[in-house]
Amino acid sequence: MSLFVVVIGTIFQLGLAGVLFMFFVMGAGAGNNGVLTIGIFGAPISCLISIGLVIHSYKVGGSSSIYWWYTMPLILTVFLFVLAVKLK
């Protein structure tokens, strides 16, 4: 694992957490949907969890396949968005 990729991925995930928070705040305000309300805190927390998993794996010398955890918030966002559209 490369320290450079871990640092860049962490910075990206922190920025993504803010963007996802605002995305779900606007969506929940416009749509008034319970799924989007869960996403207000669920998506940014998933960013923090993925950051923690990647940093922990870097400290213990894990393989580079752990970088796939950086996609967890994006997958969760797509899942919540599709679920909100289906329930609407």
Domain ranges of the chain: 3-87
- What pLDDT band is residue 55 in, cutting at 50, 70 and 90? very high
This prediction has a pTM of 0.86
pLDDT given at position 27: 79
CA angle 14, 85, 76 (to 5 degrees): 30
What is the end-to-end Cα distance of the chain in Å, rounded? 43
4-54 pLDDT, tens per residue? 999 999 999 999 999 999 988 887 777 666 778 888 899 999 999 999 999
| Cβ contact 40:21 at 8 Å | yes
Task: Mention every residue, 6+ apart, whose C-beta is less than 8 A from residue 47.
Answer: 13, 14, 16, 17, 20, 73
